[in-house]
Structure 1
Amino acid sequence: MGLGLEQELLPRLIDLAGFKSSRLVGRSETDESLLHESGTPERPPSTDAMIRVVGDSGYRAFVIAKHSEYGYLLLEANKKRKGGRHFQLPGGHVDAHEISQYGIDEGSRLYRLAPIEFHSGAYGPQGVKLHETGRRFFRLDISDVDSVQDLPPATPLSMEDFRLCLSREHTGFRFQKSPAKAAELVTLHSGGKSSLAITLYESSQKPQD
């Protein structure tokens, strides 16, 4: 996967859209998930402004990836300090040096990722507070063409016909159709902020009366 960020935020996921290899690289965790090339067109030039290298940003960036049929994509990890087996959203902490080290540049196809503007007021006071924690979230719509076909990939724990190559950090992955269940599964991730992000994002997708 790859990630384009707001102007004040460093990229966290690498080479997703239209690239076979993608990385979620960070100080404490690395995911080298591989996705199939989607065949999408070149990104528009306007996305060049999405990348800006500053120092140690202190930000974390995460992707809410959702398959139209299977639901939310969640990565499984097993860490003692987090109570053992738990699920995560792709993403994490980024340092500026990772831009050059892992190939994030203006040529990356980042346009598939859409920033979720939690600070806009549309998500209420909780959204603003979530933004103030230094976490940034992006939406990514995935489909069957993103499934890996030419490598020995992992099969989802939820048994859908979708393949993904995982890093050593992650022990598996799954899809979850229920937003409430997906939010529950990532409760232990990033201090519960990933859970809140899913809840707030999903509430914004419901038709307004």
Structure 2
Amino acid sequence: MATASQSHPNSVLLDSTVNDAADDCVLCRFLPFLKSIFPGHRDVILDPRSEVSSIAAGRSLDSNLNSVSSNSNSNSNSNINSNHYGAVVVQEESSNMDFASADYRGFIFAVHPQYGYLLLHCTRKKKKPPHFQLIGGHVDPFEFEEAAKRYPTNKLEQLQLAGKMGAAREMYEETGLDVRNALHRLEPTRLYPHQHKKKLMNEFKSRLFYTLHLTDQDFLSGENMSVSDAAFLQRAMGANPPPVQLKLSLEHQGFAFEKVSDVASTLLQYHSGGKCSESLKMATVLQDPL
């Protein structure tokens, strides 16, 4: 009996019995096919110390090819977590874009050229003192689905579009400001001096940051609103607030503007584990969004 051994920490080699080691290596004939049905994965890893294990692996692979071929179309567009065929394992490429497991969020640096950064005031977090937050929140699954329809082969573009959609939706829900049909206004905020191949320039620890340059016309007035909706309009906090209004959700109890980025960063220190504060510091090192 010839036993295949484990030669790589991420590979699995199964025991095989070889009756005729002089047979041609079937595995060699099917490597190109295997690569073609799993284009996003690395090469197959075998035990280099045993030629007979390769022959055994080939035979085992040959017996499974029909079932693999029948499933190749359905698997080609999905992530494959475990691919064991006989004595081989197809290794997955490492990626930071696992939409299913990562809790992505989209946040907006909404800045007005005269008033500064728009910050939302929150007093209802039980484990946090009253603090300020950026506009934004979780990216929902349906937004990833819509983005995948638009960019079926580009994961980075999917993530960027889904982030914009989620951030715009959250902004409308939290403030009444609406750019859902003008996503081009949400400019990805650059956080790094150099572009990463597998990471968006505005991505930081599963959070996506965008800059929105506000105008007075973006804010709400009660003229074209129902009486019930107009009752939710609020002015900014402070002694002399700017003449603009927002329709805040119950999640927030007020809003304010801050012109100095360092002060805004300090006010955001309790939001999203301090990641919003840190990202603003990263952005202002390269170019102040304001």
Tell me the TM-score range normalised by the shorter chain: 0.5 to 0.7
Look up the match of 2:106: 61
Q: Contact (CA 8 Å) 2:190, 2:283: kept in 1 or not?
A: no
Matches within 5 A, 1:73-152: 73-97=118-142, 108-119=181-192, 121=194, 131-150=203-222, 151-152=230-231
SS of 1:191's partner is helix
Q: Which amino acid aligns with 2:104?
A: Y
Which has a greater percent of strand?
A: 1
Whether the aligned pair in 2 keeps the contact of 1:119 and 1:131 (CA below 8 Å) is no
Rounded to whole Å, the distance in 2 between the matches of 1:119 and 1:82 is: 32
- The letter of the residue matching 2:205 is T
Q: Is the Cα–Cα contact under 8 Å of residues 124 and 251 in structure 2 kept in the other structure?
A: no
**What is the number of residues matched between the two proteins?**
145
Amino acid at match of 1:115: P
Aligned to 1:30: none
Q: Aligned to 2:245, what secondary structure does the other structure show?
A: coil
**Structure 1 residue 145, shift from structure 2 partner:** 0.9
TM-score under structure 1 normalisation? Answer: 0.61
Q: TM-score, normalised by structure 2?
A: 0.45
Counterpart CA distance in 2 for 1:135 and 1:173 is 22
Kindly indicate whether the alpha-carbon contact (under 8 Å) linking 1:88 and 1:186 is maintained by their aligned counterparts in 2: yes
RMSD of equivalent CA atoms: 2.9
Separation in structure 1 between the aligned mates of residue 127 and residue 194 of structure 2, nearest angstrom: 31
Contiguous gaps of at least 5 residues in structure 1: 1-53
**What stretches of structure 2 of length at least 5 have no aligned partner?**
1-98, 147-165, 170-179, 223-229
Q: Which structure 1 residue ranges, 4+ long, deviate > 6 Å from structure 2?
A: none
Write the deviation string for residues 18-39 of structure 1: whole angstroms up to 9, x where unpaired. xxxxxxxxxxxxxxxxxxxxxx
Larger relative contact order (C-alpha < 8 A, sep ≥ 6)?
Answer: 1
* Structure 1 CA distance for aligned equivalents of residues 186 and 143 of structure 2: 19
* Residue 247 of structure 2 corresponds to residue 169 of structure 1: no
Residue 194 of structure 1 aligns to a residue in which SS?
helix
Q: Report % sequence identity.
A: 34
Larger radius of gyration: 2
For the Cα contact (< 8 Å) 2:110–2:213, is it kept in 1?
yes
Give the AA of the match of 1:198.
Answer: L
Distance 1:132 1:186, change over 3 A: closer
Q: Which residue of 1 aligns with 2:18?
A: none
Checking the alignment, whether the CA contact within 8 Å between 1:60 and 1:91 is kept in structure 2 is yes
Higher helix content, 1 or 2: 2
- Classify the secondary structure of the residue corresponding to 1:61: strand
Q: In structure 1, what residue type is equivalent to 2:258? A: Q
Q: 1:111 to 1:98 in 2, by over 3 A?
A: closer
SS in 1 for 2:279: helix
CA distance in 2, matches of 1:167, 1:56: 28
- State how 1:149-164 maps to structure 2 within 5 Å: 149-150=221-222, 151-152=230-231, 153-158=233-238, 159-164=241-246
Distance in 2, matches of 1:174 and 1:132, equals 25
* Aligned residues of 1:56 and 1:96 also touching (Cα < 8 A): no
What is the CA distance between 1:149 and its match in structure 2?
Answer: 0.9
Matched, 1:198 2:280: yes
Between the aligned partners of 1:135 and 1:68, the Cα distance in structure 2 is 25
Letter paired with 2:131: H
Report if the CA contact (8 A) 1:147-1:163 is conserved: yes
Q: Distance in 1 between matches of 2:282 and 2:185?
A: 21
Deviates more, 1:134-143 or 1:56-65: 56-65
